[in-house]
Structure 1
């Protein structure tokens, strides 16, 4: 790092699941609780499980950080829509890289990156913070369709000469990769004001007039000004070359062949960097988590913007009998989250669960495929009626629907809904056979929910 001074449940009626459709939704998805767990695990404050073994990652120095690299691979393996590259570049060095291909312009590449190696124990700020922010961006954006390709890169051996990023940058240059911007995150968790108290919350963007790095800086500031963040930017030009973004400035015939790149982190320019730099005093307890949270929201929002977030609404609306995908004009496949399997025949925009459980919908629109969060559908612990316990006739029906519930003596509630989930008719009965008049209802599909104190069931009715 530079050595100079100068964020579950989707239940109840009509509740939307929390997946992102816009940049603001992306910002709202950033989860400080999950990031704080990652920070503590990756800086060795708490133990974690890697490759099935309980480990404590106190030290991540380049000759002693293979388990840390495995931890990062494991984190990326939990995500969809990415390809993981475990890139060895010398005897000890390992870059851990995840690539999310763009749907429209896969050749256009934007990189968000951080180094994960250290010079001492713990090193929460330098650079578990940057590493955690990259993982959080990947967690959120990997659920989305993007026009452009995003590379989530975690570099090794930054602390001994930017070796990992240099290897990647030179290889990318030789391959002719169309890298349009590199956002390097290094030390973004310390602010001198007491955590959670009013302060300047300043952060640096280090750039130089190399390639379009100044334009990148302007774009980040545009995102900063377009949404609400508790942050204040400090522009640093010429910015430091002592972190991994500089590897992308230095490729090929400098400066003709350079890539656009900037560094974002806490404000060294105003002497507000951690006093525990490159020491084992760099602990989780010294971090300003609200400040780190704001910076992670900003960097994730920027990547969503340049990545070209595709506007697909992958949320679900729920009523007491019906789940409906918000996105129209698409293809749908409902999924049983408890078994992680598609539900046969459940390919309409709406789905009526026949039992309590967790459900999601896979939405395909053009070349984009997105999956909603799992929705908790609860029949309040009631058992389903057996097939022999309920008889509906005629079905299809023209005028009168008969509901026969043999040997049932307690009162039952009859609720008839249209295909949108709107309640059309409601009636209570304790009769063995009850008739519902559907004569004046339009032709189409309806759903009848039958509920007693012990049982429940929902049935598809066709009105001719």
Structure 2
């Protein structure tokens, strides 16, 4: 929604990097896999779905489009929660997708944004936030995180945060014990303005009441600012949280933070809120920053034990680029059962096979795959080795 354009001055505020928050090459590697093609495709498809008003077919179509996106990334129906509510006499739906953490499965990092619109197609407000969240979900689908993640796609935001308020009331507070939320990271209107220099993202912290969660929000937003600098080319601007789906969580004493475009569009809530009036490259950079931040917030796994590291370092995939056959040199890995998967740029598995007691050199025929960029991964005993390959 975001109907105000006044920002809180940051003054001499400096974001200090905590000793535990330093550049992690693996986080950068994953963030760099955000696809500009994907972002532009998501925005185009979102726009083509029409005006997503309560009680309309386009809103229902968008909900189903989102479900299919997550399914295409490898999430399962078992991970979905349909949170339905009544909005102005119509049934609307929040889509919640949960990825379970390895160490703290009952503590959640929420990344959220709304998919409804009020007049136009809402391509910036808030297809841009949805596009960013989809890329984060695609890239993190196969990466273990210590904390559980909930990807929440809210409806009813444009009618006064109806969907997010319903979720807080009937899910967060109705869970016994109450849902344990580490933080809520909201993305609303992050598409930039066509023709402008869009190189700064606004990072939003809690400055309202109750005040008991303000200090923690400030700390988390400091960390968000640091992540933006580490994993994207964007600058940051500190402001305050208001008028979007994190507010019911803030009122519930949860810790919140958020992204919002620094150059604020003049096309929101109108028929001209379209891709042509946005900056999809800016949206791409926002998605990179969000990916790095979510890996930090949810604590993505990056380390192997010493033996595993020594063995996995000897594994090779070649040639690259490849045409018909990719070879796997197992190096010093012990002979056992391995799973090989190849994923396309949408995160969809296009090849899967198991190898029992492999030879030193194994050949995988990939002649059936189209030209493009893929991710090949070799998995065994909780260890996954990944490599980007190009098929010519």
TM interval, short-chain normalised: 0.7 to 0.9
Cα offset, 1:38, TM superposition: 0.8
For 1:103, what is the secondary structure of its paired residue? coil
**CA–CA distance in 1 between the matches of 2:146 and 2:334?**
20
In the alignment, does 2:319 pair up with 1:324?
no
The answer to whether the 8 Å contact 2:203/2:225 transfers is no
**Partner Cα separation in structure 1 for residue 101 and residue 335 of structure 2:** 20
| Aligned counterparts of 1:339 and 1:205: Cα–Cα separation in 2 | 37
1:260-339 alignment runs, 5 A limit:
260-267=255-262, 272-311=263-302, 317-319=317-319, 322-324=327-329, 332-335=337-340
Counterpart for residue 163 of structure 1: 162
Greater RCO (Cα-Cα under 8 Å, separation 6 or more): 2
Aligned positions of 1:324-363 closer than 5 A = 324=329, 332-335=337-340, 340-343=351-354, 345-348=355-358, 350-353=360-363, 357=367, 361-363=377-379
Counterpart mapping for 1:39-438 below 5 A: 39-44=43-48, 57-64=49-56, 65-81=59-75, 83-90=79-86, 91-170=90-169, 171-175=171-175, 176-191=178-193, 194=195, 199=197, 201-209=199-207, 210=211, 211=213, 212-227=216-231, 229-237=232-240, 239-240=241-242, 242-251=243-252, 258-267=253-262, 272-311=263-302, 317-319=317-319, 322-324=327-329, 332-335=337-340, 340-343=351-354, 345-348=355-358, 350-353=360-363, 357=367, 361-365=377-381, 368=382, 370=384, 372=386
Distance in 2 separating the partners of 1:88 and 1:326: 52
Task: For residues 34-87 of structure 1, give each alpha carbon's deviation from its aligned partner in whole angstroms, at most 9, with x where no partner exists.
Answer: 11011000111xxxxxxxxxxxx1111121111110000111111225512222
Other-structure match for 2:42: 38
CA deviations on 1:344-403 (whole Å, 9 max, x unpaired) are x534485512756479554134xx46585796899xxxxxxxxxxxxxxxxxxxxxxxxx
Change (3 A) 1:149 1:329: farther
Deviations 1:98-134 (A, max 9, x none): 1111112212210111000000122210010001111
Structure 1 residues 354 and 143 mapped into 2: Cα distance closer, same or farther (>3 Å)?
closer
CA distance in 2, matches of 1:274, 1:377: 39
2:28 aligned with 1:29: no
The 1:288–1:333 alpha-carbon spacing in structure 2 relative to 1, beyond 3 Å, is same
Q: Name the SS of the counterpart of 1:278 in structure 2.
A: coil
Over residues 329-350 of structure 1, what are the superposed CA-to-partner deviations in whole Å (9 max), with x where a residue is unaligned? 796524486985534x534485
Asked if the contact 1:357/1:376 (under 8 Å) is kept, the reply is no
1:421-449 C-alpha deviation (Å, 9 max, x unpaired): xxxxxxxxxxxxxxxxxxxxxxxxxxxxx
Query: Where does residue 449 of structure 1 map in the other structure?
Result: none
Larger Rg: 1
**Residue deviations 1:166-215, cap 9 Å, x none?**
122222133211111111000001236x25xxx36222222224522111
Question: Does the residue aligned with 1:130 lie in a helix, a strand or coil?
Answer: helix
Q: CA shift at 1:299, angstroms?
A: 0.9
* SS of 2:219 mapped into structure 1: helix
Structure 2: 5+ residue stretches without partners = 7-23, 305-311, 320-324, 343-348, 370-375
Change (3 A) 1:283 1:363: same
Q: CA 1:157–1:329 in 2, change beyond 3 Å: closer, same or farther? A: farther
Change (3 A) 1:236 1:289: same
In the aligned structure 2, how far is the partner of 1:203 from the partner of 1:97? 26
Taking the aligned partners of 2:106 and 2:276, their CA distance within structure 1 comes to 42
Report the 3-state secondary structure (helix = DSSP H, G, I; strand = E; otherwise coil) of the residue aligned with 2:183.
Answer: strand
Q: How many residues align?
A: 333
Contact 2:120 2:270 in 1 (8 A): yes
Paired residue secondary structure (1:230): coil
In 2, the alpha carbon distance for the partners of 1:106 and 1:349 equals: 38
Per-residue CA deviation, residues 1-25 of structure 1 (Å, 9 max, x unaligned), is: 111121xxxxxxxxxxxxx981011
Q: CA RMSD in A?
A: 3.1
